[in-house]
Every structure is written in structure tokens, then in C-alpha cells.
Chains A and B, each alone.
Chain A
Amino acid sequence: MSALEIKHLFGLRGVSKHDIRMILDNAKQFREILERPVKKVPSLRGMTVVNLFFENSTRTRTSFELAEKRLSADTVNFTSSNSSVKKGETLVDTLRNIEAMKIDIVVVRHKGTGVPKFLADNSNAIIVNAGDGAHEHPTQALLDMLTIEEKLGTLEGKNVTIVGDIRHSRVARSNLWGMTTMGAHVTLCGPSTLVPRNTELMDKVTWESDVKKAVKDADAIIALRLQKERMDDALLPSMREYRNTFGITHELLECAKDKVLIMHPGPINRGVELDSEIADGENSVILNQVTNGVAVRMAVLFLLAGGRANA
């Protein structure tokens, strides 16, 4: 198997089918390892990974940290709340200081679009995007893809519907690039104030304003988390109206296929974007997504590091 074409993982826009396939196939191998009694492999022994999180994160950081530890890497967590960033240090100085400590990989989350690329332009470390603004969250999309492949066998020809706050969602953007590259048909649906207006460059997907039509032929539905701040910003009148119009409910699923997969990047606002009984129901694969998150992140780190050892 040849190496990845990408040197860093900034996002999935422009990433080849070859690379995504390689990451997913590798993740499937790591997924098996995660089921073993001893879940650790020596693949990244001797390498140091810094988790540079400028935004709050629990599950993504934990997932990355677990992936790093399972690969036997040394890990350091660096959050803005306890760092020199609070003292006015610039981003590039922070990076250069960390890099001077001889680190190999930086996993970064930041509110600013393009921060991972900026860091790659200014350092020699391998950069992995753990979420930059509303731009991309590639490992979330990869774990979504892995989950669909795991359950449905393939992404090719499958219909995936993403419902919710598309405009502010890095998950939706990464998914639309990644899934369309892998041959899925993606439909995006949300309230008019929460979908982008200018979609000329996102023309490989279907934009649907009627959620019933959007879910009708779906093989998988991804409900996006609705930020409560959207109400303060007058983008929506109320959680109640959102739930009644775009929430994934039993009534809505009556319009969908019986075995449609229900997915969510978490954390869930129960009773808003997803009703509890759906989130916990038999179609839900939300916890599979969480498990697959570790496997996908192991694959990304392993492959970007050069795949020097066999898992």
C-alpha cells in the first residue's frame, strides 16, 4: 500500500479517494485492535503528539488522546485556558515554542478558519485539524464514513442526509466533501437562516428545505447539534419550533426508510435536534461513531506519521 498523498490533515476538501480509502481501511484494522484485551500497539512509540486545543472540547480531545496512547505515542495536552496564550503570546510563537521541544505531530482545534494550514506553513510538525471554526472537522467526517461503511458495507451510492445548522457546521462541510468523494449522495437540510446562501462551490450535494423530502430516501441521517447561541442571535425563534420543524422525531422517521441509520456528532441536545427515543433507539449508531472516532484518529496519526510500523 502506498503512502498518503497528503502530508497534513487540514480538511477533506480536495483529499483524494485514494487517501480517504486508505484511512478508512486502516481504521478498520485499528477498530479490530480496539476489541482485543490489549488495545495498545507500538506504532508511534518514541513520537510526541501535542493536543493544542484553543477551544473547549471533551470528546474530540479525549478521543485523540486515547488514539495517541493506543499507538504508544507520548502525548501532551495544551489548552488555551492554562497556556501562555492567555498571557498574550501569538499563535505562531506558541507553536514555535512547542516545536522547539521536539514534537512530531500537532493536533489542533481553534475557532479560526485555516489555523491548521497556518501552523503547517510555520512549522515542520505534522498538523491534524481537530476542528477549525466552521470550516472543517475532518476526523469527525471520517468516523461518520467509517460508521456508515461498517453498517451498510459501502458509501458508494448511499444517500446521506445531514439536518440542522449547516451554515455554522464544520462537521457538515467535511462530510459533504468526504462523502461525495467516496460516491455517496449527500442531501443537506436546515432552516433558511442556518444554511449557506452561496452554494455554487458545493454543487455536488442536494440542498433541500423540506426535511420530510430530505429524509425520504436516506440510508443515514446525521442530525447536527443546535447551538443555543443561535437563538440569541435571532437565527431561530425557539428550540421548540426548531424541534417541531427540523427535529428528528418518530413522526419524521415515518417518512424515512425503516432501517435508516441515525447519527449525531455529539453532544446531543435531546428533544431538540434528536428525540431521546430516537437517540437511544435501534437505528441509532451514535455510540458506534464514538468508538470509530478512536480508530479513525489512530489511522490518521499512524498514516501521517509515515506508517513506519505495522499495527
Chain B
Amino acid sequence: MRNVVLNNVRPFVDGKFGEPTKMCLVDGAWADSAPAETDEFDAKGALAIPALFGLGLDFKEPLRDDIYTFRDGVSAMRRGGFFGGLYESSANPIDDSQKLTAMQQLSAKSGMEFAFLGAFSMGYQCKDLAEMVELAQGGAVGFGDGNKDCSRSRFLRLAMEYGSMTGKRFFFMPLDDSLRHHGLVHEGCYADTLGMKGIPRIAETIAAFRILEMARFLKVPVHFKQVSCGDTLKLIETARAQGVDVTCDVDVYHLLLDDSCLFDLDSHCNVPMPFRSAEDREALWQGLESGIVNAISMNHDPVLRQDKEVNFEDAVPGAVSLEIALGAIWKPLCTRLSAARAVELLSTAPAQLAGACPSAIAKGGRANLVLLDPDRPTKVVPTLFAGQTRNTPLLGKEIPSSIVASYIGGVWTEV
């Protein structure tokens, strides 16, 4: 724990940013006063935003700790202003209670609030059911597919039916593998011009529709990760109106980029869910405005340099986001939405989806916050990132805002 006095800071209180004031951060809380000789920090009018909650974290440990470790991930969270996250690793399926316990022990030392998705099938193979009841009893907040398509509809039905005993939500990245057919990018005019194999929108909508029908039939709550096209949002809206308990998120990069970036042939734009058209990107923004979209997800997925320093099609898909997401998305968000809705999408709603207690800033209460200078642009350079990876489509580009510092779990981190 470290105490710090923030001067000239604008905290987000009661749904808005107040006038510049002084905050005494003592033992992880916003106190009336600080002990004598507490370090002071001039925030220069920076915004104090409730710390964020990251959906879609994959720190690769233990099986791929050659790529990234939990320590790297926690460092990234502090740099990016995250107090917690929903963890699901494609490399390390949490498909039994021992693995869950091991991850909980690993995260317990971090001072962050982690929630874990259990796998509903052993090894994400969609052949054998995972022990979902035991996983739920052990603390798994929901069940996921590790971003792999379960093409066997009967197995999916049985998994959801069995898992319904736990009352937990099922999380899916809807993408039909058969329709994907080795595609890496959105099937649109850019892919066709470049002669690249595309993933049609129907790969997403058909997968989503199948899951929604399962959810309706079995009365199981579902969540869609990284929705990328407007047509899927329409399906979600319709299903929700008919009583299906369905939530969804959109990936932070999908709000910033569309498939026009393909012309650069930058392998960093090779991500698991493809960047769709400009029309789809606009539909995602409208989904944020209308409330169809519940949250913005991070999908922090480290990839080694040598696996990205190849041509586009041979690159390993994935992007890291934690360190730069807030600086990249805050201004665009606030040009279309209220600050309160922006905080909800980045912090409150993701935490609630993962069953965690949302972060809030109130005098006398716990203070997990991130300081952001919204008007100071930052160039995205490798030194911003924790660990050895820096696989982001924004590498080398300028983002509109800068994270100044974070105060999470009583730990002060200047960026």
C-alpha cells in the first residue's frame, strides 16, 4: 500500500467529472486527509476514472509462459488502469477444479480482482463435458468455449443443458468454423480486392442464431464475445425482446478499426474476430448508443514478436490492448456518448457481467482509479507495454489520450 495526495484532479463522482480538487488516497481508499509527509502528485486537471474491468484476458500462463506471464498481465493492467478482469485462456482451458484453484492462487497474489470462465468441454474439444458443477462451486463465474466454435450442435445442447444447473452464463465468440473456412479477414471489398480468403458475416450470424435458439429452448443465459457485425446485434435485440437472457460485448479495436486497414497488410491486424466493414463498425457504435451492447471488451491476447513479424496470413492472430485501450477509446467514446455511459461500458458493466463488484469513486470508500489526460496524445511505442509482446494494430500510431497513473488496490503506478 502506498498513500498519495492528488492535487488538481477531476474525480468521476455521481455520474460526472467534478471540478479540479484534491484527493487523499490512503490505504486504498479516498480519505479526508493523508498522513503528514505523504507524497503529492499534481494531476494537472487529469480525469480520475473508476478503474476498468477487462473482459477477455489471456495471460498464457502456465502452458505458454514463454509468451507471457500472469505478472506481465498484472503489470499491463496497472499501466492501463484495470482493477480486474474476466480471464479465459485459449491456451489453458480451465476444465477441472484443480486448474481453477491453481489460477485463483496465481491471481490471489496480484492484488487484482479476477473472475474465471470455466471450459464447458474438456480441452475445448467439444467431446467430453467438463465438471461444470464443481467448477461453479469452485468459483467459475461462467462457461466458455475458448473462442473455438463448437460445431456439434447436440454436444452444445447437452453442455448448456447440464450447465444450466449452475445458473451460470455461457460465453461464446460466435463464428461458424465451416463458413469461416480458413478465412482470416472480413469477406468484403478489401479482402476480395487483395484476393484474401474472407470470413462472411453469416459465419457470425448463423453461429449466433444457433446459440440464441439453444438459449431460448434451454432457458440458459448467454453472452456473445466480440460481436463484430450489425446483423448480429439485430439478432440479439430481437431475442432479447422475446425474453432470451442474452448479453454481448464489442472489442475495443472493432470500434476503432474496420477492414479498410487491410490494405496496409499489417500482420497486427490479424485478430481472431475480423475487423468488419465501416458500416458494421458504425452499427457497433449505434449498439453502444442504444444499449444493445452491454460492454466493451479488451481481448488481451499476447503474441510473440516473431509470430507477428511475418506476412499477414502466416501471423498468429491476436492483439494486446490493456495498456492503451483507455487512451485510444476514451475520446471517441465521449464524442458520441456521455461520460457516464463510457464509464459504464468500460468499468461497471464488464465487472457486473463477470459477477465482480464494480469500481466506484466516493469519498470514504475504496478508491480504484485511473488518471487520464484526455487531451494529451500518446504515440504507441513498445515501451508502453508490459512483458515482451507489443502486438497491437495501433503500434506506431498516435492515440488521442494519455494515461497518467493508476491507483489500484492501494498501489500507485505512474505511467
Residue ranges of A at the interface with B (Cβ–Cβ < 8 Å): 13, 90-92, 110-115, 117-118, 122, 133-136, 167-170, 173, 196-202
Q: Does B192 contact A (CB under 8 A)?
A: yes
B313 is contacted by which of A113, A117, A198 (Cβ under 8 Å)? A113
List the A residue with the shortest CB-CB distance to B190: A201
* Pair A113/B306 contact, Cβ less than 8 Å: no
Measured between beta carbons, the chain A residues less than 8 angstroms from B189 are 198-202
Number of residues of chain B lying within 8 A (CB) of chain A: 19
Most buried by A among B309, B311, B313: B311
Given A113-B265, A118-B265, A198-B187, check contact A91 B310 (CB 8 Å).
yes
Contact A196 B192 (CB under 8 A): yes
Residues of B within 8 A of A170 (CB): 195
B309 touches A90 (CB 8 A): yes
Contacts of B312 in A (CB 8 A): 112-114, 118
Binding site for A on B (CB under 8 A): 187-196, 265, 267, 306, 309-314
The CA of A198 and the CA of B306, in the complex, are separated in Å by 33
Instruction: List the B side residues contacting A91 at CB < 8 Å.
Output: 310-311, 314
Contacts of B313 in A (CB 8 A): 111-114, 133
Cross-interface CB contact of A198 among B192, B267, B309, B310, cutoff 8 Å: B192
CB of B195 within 8 A of CB of A113, answer yes
Inter-subunit contact A114/B311 (CB<8 Å): yes
Q: Is the CB of B265 within 8 A of A117?
A: yes
On chain A, the residues within 8 Å of B306 by CB distance are: 90
5 interchain residue pairs of minimum CB distance: A134-B195, A114-B265, A196-B192, A112-B311, A198-B189
Once the chains bind, are A115 and B309 in contact (CB under 8 Å)?
Answer: no
Q: Which residue of A lies closest to B310 (CB)?
A: A91
Give Cα A293–Cα B115 distance, bound, in whole angstroms.
62
Give the interface centre of A13, A117, A136, A198 by most chain B CB atoms within 10 Å. A198
Q: Is the CB of B196 within 8 A of A135?
A: yes
Please state if A113 and B310 are interface contacts (CB–CB under 8 Å).
no
Bound complex: CA A13 to CA B193 (Å): 10
- 9 CB contacts below 8 A, A to B, read A90-B306, A90-B310, A91-B310, A91-B311, A92-B309, A114-B313, A118-B312, A133-B196, A197-B192
B188: chain A residues within 8 A (beta carbon) = 198
The answer to whether A133 and B314 touch across the interface, beta carbons within 8 angstroms, is no
Other-chain contact of A113, B187, B196, B309 (Cβ < 8 Å): B196
Complex Cα distance A199/B195, Å? Answer: 11
Partner of A118, one of B191, B192, B194, B310: B310
Contact A199 B192, CB 8 Å, known A90-B306, A117-B265:
yes
Known: A110-B311, A113-B194, A114-B194. 6 other contacts (CB 8 A): A91-B311, A112-B313, A113-B195, A114-B265, A114-B311, A167-B195
What is the chain B residue whose CB lies nearest that of A116?
A: B311
Q: Which residues of A contact B192 (CB under 8 A)?
A: 167, 196-199, 201-202
Closest Cβ–Cβ distance, residue A200 to chain B (whole Å): 4
Chain B positions within 8 Å of A169 at CB level: 195
Residue of A with least CB distance to B200: A197
Q: Are A135 and B194 in contact (CB under 8 A)?
A: yes
- Residue of B whose beta carbon sits closest to that of A233: B181
Interface of B is mostly: helix
Secondary structure type dominating chain A contacts: loop
Q: Which residues on A sit within 8 Å (CB–CB) of B310? A: 90-92, 118
Residue of A nearest to B309 (CB): A92
Across the interface, do A135 and B311 meet the contact criterion of CB distance under 8 Å?
Answer: no
Q: Judge whether B190 and A133 touch: CB under 8 Å.
A: no
A174 CA to B196 CA, complexed, in Å: 14
- List of A residues within 8 angstroms of B187 by Cβ: 197-198
The answer to whether A115 touches B311, judged by C-beta atoms less than 8 angstroms apart, is: yes
Look across to chain A and name the residue whose beta carbon is closest to the beta carbon of B313.
A112
Shortest Cβ gap from B335 to chain A (Å): 28
Which residues of chain B come closer than 8 Å to A114, judged between CB atoms? 194, 265, 311-313
The distance in angstroms between the C-alpha atoms of A197 and B314, with both chains bound, is 24
Bound together, the chains give a CA A13 to CA B265 distance in angstroms of 14
Query: Which chain A positions have C-beta within 8 A of B194?
Result: 113-114, 135
Q: Which residues of A contact B267 (CB under 8 A)?
A: 118
A271 to chain B minimum Cβ distance, whole angstroms, is 27
B91 shortest CB reach to chain A, Å = 20
In the complex, are the beta carbons of B190 and A118 less than 8 A apart?
Answer: no
Q: Closest approach, in angstroms, between the C-beta of B100 and any C-beta of chain A?
A: 35
Q: A198-B187, A198-B188, A198-B189 are in contact. Are A118 and B195 (CB under 8 A)?
A: no
CA–CA, A168 to B313, complex, Å? 15
Q: Is the CB of A134 within 8 A of B196?
A: yes
A196 / chain B contacts, CB cutoff of 8 Å: 192-193
Contacts of A122 in B (CB 8 A): 309
Closest to A203 in B: B189
A113-B265, A118-B265 given; A201·B193 CB < 8 A: yes
Among B194, B196, B267, B309, max chain A CB count under 10 A is at: B194
A275–B264 alpha-carbon span in the complex (Å): 41
CA distance A114 to B264 in the complex (A): 9
User: Please, how many angstroms separate the alpha-carbon atoms of A199 and B198 in the complex?
Assistant: 13
Do A168 and B195 touch (CB < 8 A)?
A: yes
* B residues near A92, Cβ cutoff 8 Å: 309-310
Q: A118-B265, A200-B189 are in contact. Are A133 and B195 (CB under 8 A)?
A: yes
A119 closest partner in B (C-beta): B311
Compute how far the CA of A119 lies from the CA of B280 in the bound complex, rounded to whole angstroms.
32
Whole-angstrom distance from the CB of B269 to the nearest CB of chain A?
11
* Chain A positions within 8 Å of B265 at CB level: 113-114, 117-118
On whether A173 and B314 interact (CB within 8 A), knowing A92-B309, A117-B265, the answer reads no
Bound Cα distance A91, B307 (Å): 11
Inter-chain CA distance A115–B196, complex, in Å, is 12
A136 to B313, alpha carbons, bound, how many Å?
Answer: 15
Q: How far in angstroms is the closest Cβ of chain A from B200?
A: 8
Contacts of A13 in B (CB 8 A): 193
A198 to B185, CA, bound (A): 13
Q: Is the Cβ of A198 less than 8 Å from the Cβ of B195?
A: no
**Shortest beta-carbon distance from A113 to chain B in Å:** 5
B188 to chain A, nearest CB (A): 5
B194, B195, B196 pick with most chain A CB within 10 angstroms:
B195
Interface centre among B265, B306, B313 (most CB of A within 10 A): B265
Kindly list chain A residues whose C-beta atoms are within 8 Å of the C-beta of B196: 113, 133-135
The residue on B at minimum CB distance from A196 is: B192
